[in-house]
Each structure stands twice: as structure tokens, then as C-alpha cells.
A = this chain, B = another copy of it.
Amino acid sequence: MVQLDERKKSILKAVVDDYIATAEPVGSKSLVTRYHFNVSSATVRNEMAELEEMGYLEQPHTSAGRIPSDKGYRAYVDSLLSVEDLSEEAADRIRHYFQESIDELTGLIRKASTVLSEQTGYTSVALSPHLKRSHLSQIKILMIEPGRALVVVVLSAGVVKDRLVRIPEILDAEQLMRIANAIEDQLSGMTLDDITLVTVATAAKQTTLPESLLNQVLYEAYVSIKQADNLEVYMEGSHNLLSYPEFYDVKKAREYLKTLTATGMIAGYMSELRDNADPGDEMQNDESVRDQSEPPDKHLILQLPEKRYGNSQEDDRRNPAYTVRIGQEIMLEGLRDCSFITTTYKMGDFVAGRIGVIGPKRMAYGKVISHISFVKKTLNDQITHLSKGKSRTEGK
């Protein structure tokens, strides 16, 4: 981006904007007329040729217009895009979704996902919180019927998970409770990561039950604890992308859907993402990004219908609360023509889970970013609200 003068930036931005709006390769002539450049099409043509040379644009075939390359989108997102704050109506619409109070964390996360897909018109994904580093707070073993029990695991964050298990038929409710209490006494406060089959077994040593009976229960308790941080994925609006021309090719659409529904694929990918990771290329030079806020000099010949450059959202850009992955940057087959915008939500003090929006590369980045930012905020609020009083049990 360092190499791009103002005019090139304007042109690149215009090309991306136009292509996002129309899905048609954009040519020099229509650019000039539609965006009221005060230079001739020939000049724009030359600039576009250079932009192509530099890798920001590409041509589907000779004598067609240009479309942005992944690098072009990247530059657009990193330094050309103006992210507006969400309009009051849109914010209200989102708040409205969250109005009916929900008492389960999963319900909230689901809702966030629904909101995102419905309000953006793309596909949304949400990941249940990552709980590896949370502590065991309680464990109960509830007798269901001889031979079957329900293990309930409560984590520090107030998250509750349970699991039906098979146990020796001779055990009664009283004995199960004693085992659970022993485990709870010894292990509560430990992080899930630190708990092993050995620690569980040791914890239950003090109970007077014969080992042969204990073993199966302990194993199930252990598995239940370990599974408490199982990732869950919520997805909404996967059909939405079929409205966009890039998926008119059914083969592509199928690949895309297959990738989305393949169990674990998206979850695995999302859980490995890191926020603020500089998508390593020459764009990372922050100076050039800041350039934007300079007053437009006489070279900035583009007169945008509405100018939104260089003001408050610069803060967002300096400390982006979201991650954007574009096209090939997403390492999943079937999502090659997509972009993936994600952000995290918090539970208590540390980063918990992730929500995201998947759309065509040609997606309305500004709109999605403002929506996802707002949903993130709302979700965080709701979660705090949900677990108020939580601190009292924490660490037990």
C-alpha cells in the first residue's frame, strides 16, 4: 500500500466498491462516469493497468473490466474502507432480538448468530466459549435409574454441562453423591486442562468404596469434566449465499455447503484464529494507513457521493476488534471465493468464543463489520448480565 498514491487508492476503492455493488467487472469508462472522476477514462485506464501490474486488480479476460484480486480486497479492507457506526435503526433491530431474556448461554450465542445472518444477509457462525482455562466449580452425579446416572459439571464461568453415563448397577444415589463430593472437594478450582484421570482417581481415594466399583464412575466423571469444554458450532443462514451470483454455479454452491456442514471444519478453523494478526504482506505498514486522515490533496480527484474518510473510525482501525480473512487466506477448500469476518466475545475477564460472518469476497465489508461489532458488544453485555452474581461461586 506504500506504493499507492492517492489517485490509485481512490481508483482501487472505486473499483472495489463498484464490483461489490454490481458483481460485474468494472471498466475505466463506467468508473469515470459513475464516480465523477475529473480525469479521462484513458488516465484511469493507465492507472488500472498499473494496479493490475502491482497485483491489486485482475482481468477475467482481455478486454473485460477489472475485478479486485485478494490483495486488492485486502488493501481495501485494511486502509480504504470506511466503517460507519451502525445506524440507530439497525442497532434497534438488533437490540430487539435480544429483548426477550434468555437464561442459557447457548441461547444467547444462538441468538447472536441468528441476528447476524438475518441482518447481514450472509451466513453466520458462532462458536461456544472456549473453556479450557476455566475452573471446575462443582460436580454432581445424579442417579437416574439403576445403572444410569447424570453427571453435571459446573464451571467457574457459571457454565453447566451434563452427560448421561452408564454405571455399575449396584451403586446407589448416596454412594454416587459421595464420589462426586470427593471429586469436587479435591478438584474444584483446578482448570480443566490440569485435571487428569489420575487426579480424579486420587481425589476419590478417600471414599471407602471398592476400587472395582469406583473405576467406571471415575472414568465417566473424568470424561464428563473433559468434555465440558467441547466446542459447539451454531450456524445460520447457510442458504443466504446462494442468492449471490458467485454461487450460481451449483458445483461451487455445493462445495461451499459441504464445507460449512462438515463437522468440525469450521469449528477447527475458527478456534485457531487469532485477532489482530497482521495478514503478513506489505500492507502492514501502519503509516500508510494513517495517511488516510490527511486532508485530500489535489490528486484526490475522486469525489465520493458521501465522504467518510478520516474521522472516528480511525480508532477502530488502529485497534481492530475483528479479523478479516479474504479468499485464499481462508485455508478451507470450498470457501475460496468467500471472506470471513470474525470477532470474539468475552465471558468474565477473558476471551471466550467467536462469532463470525461468511460471505462472498464481494461482501459489504463495512456493513458486516459494523454489525458484527455491535452484536459483539451486545452479546458481551448480555453475558455479563447473565452471570451477574457469578463471582460469588468463582474459585469456590
Q: Contact residues of A with B, CB < 8 Å?
A: 103-104, 138, 140, 142, 144-148, 150, 152, 154, 158, 160, 162-166, 169, 236-239, 242-243, 247-248, 250, 253-254, 257-258, 261, 389-390, 392-393
Residues of B within 8 A of A258 (CB): 239
Contact assessment for A142 and B146 in the assembled complex, using a CB-CB cutoff below 8 Å = no
Contacts of A242 in B (CB 8 A): 250, 253-254, 257
Q: Kindly name the residue among A147, A148, A162, A166 whose own CB sees the greatest number of chain B CB atoms within 10 A.
A: A148
Q: How far is the CB of A162 from chain B (nearest CB, A)?
A: 6
Cβ contact within 8 Å between B164 and A160: yes
20 CB contacts below 8 A, A to B, read: A103-B165, A104-B163, A140-B142, A142-B142, A145-B154, A145-B158, A145-B389, A147-B389, A148-B389, A150-B152, A150-B162, A160-B164, A162-B162, A169-B389, A238-B257, A239-B254, A242-B254, A242-B257, A248-B250, A253-B253
One of B148, B250, B393 near A158 (C-beta < 8 A): B148
A154 in contact with B144 given A164-B104, A257-B242 (CB within 8 Å)? yes
CB neighbours (8 Å) of A236 from chain B are 261
Q: What residues of chain B lie closer than 8 Å to A247, measured between beta carbons?
A: 250
Chain B residues within 8 Å of A163, by CB: 104
Q: How far is the CA of A390 from the CA of B148 in the complex (A)?
A: 9
Q: Which residues on B sit within 8 Å (CB–CB) of A238? A: 257, 261
- Which of these, B152, B166, B237, contacts A142 with CB under 8 Å? B152
Per CB-CB distance, the 10 closest pairs between chain A and chain B, nearest first, are A239-B257, A145-B393, A242-B254, A147-B389, A239-B258, A248-B250, A104-B164, A103-B164, A242-B250, A150-B160
CB-CB < 8 A to A254: which residues of B? Answer: 239, 242-243
Given A142-B152, A144-B154, A238-B261, 16 more pairs with CB closer than 8 A: A103-B165, A142-B142, A144-B393, A145-B389, A145-B392, A145-B393, A147-B389, A148-B389, A150-B162, A169-B389, A238-B257, A239-B254, A242-B254, A243-B254, A247-B250, A248-B250
